[in-house]
Amino acid sequence: MPGMGKSCQFSHPKLAGIRQQAIKGFKKYLIFYLPSDSGVEILRVIYGGREIGAILDEDLGENDLE
């Protein structure tokens, strides 16, 4: 169920469509993923207390999220 996670809104256009889901048993951690035709592509697992937008924006320089 790729659409199960909460839709995220980020300013960078390459981050469009990213969804987040809390991890059962680890409530302070979030999975960030992109739904795809074959399932999901996990982008990051991040502690929820961090600056999430900045971390994902920084990833754009290292990873191609397309």
**pLDDT score for 60:** 63
* Amino acid symbol at 48: G
- Does residue 62 have a pLDDT over 70? no
Give the chain's domain count.
1
Domain interval for residue 58: 2-62
Closest alpha carbon to 65 in 38, 23, 37, 33: 33
Sheet strands side by side (includes 19-23): 6-7, 19-23, 26-36, 39-47
Bigger pLDDT: 29 vs 10: 29
Q: What is the pLDDT of residues 11-60, one digit of tens each?
A: 777 778 889 888 888 878 998 898 888 888 898 888 877 777 778 777 76
pTM: 0.73
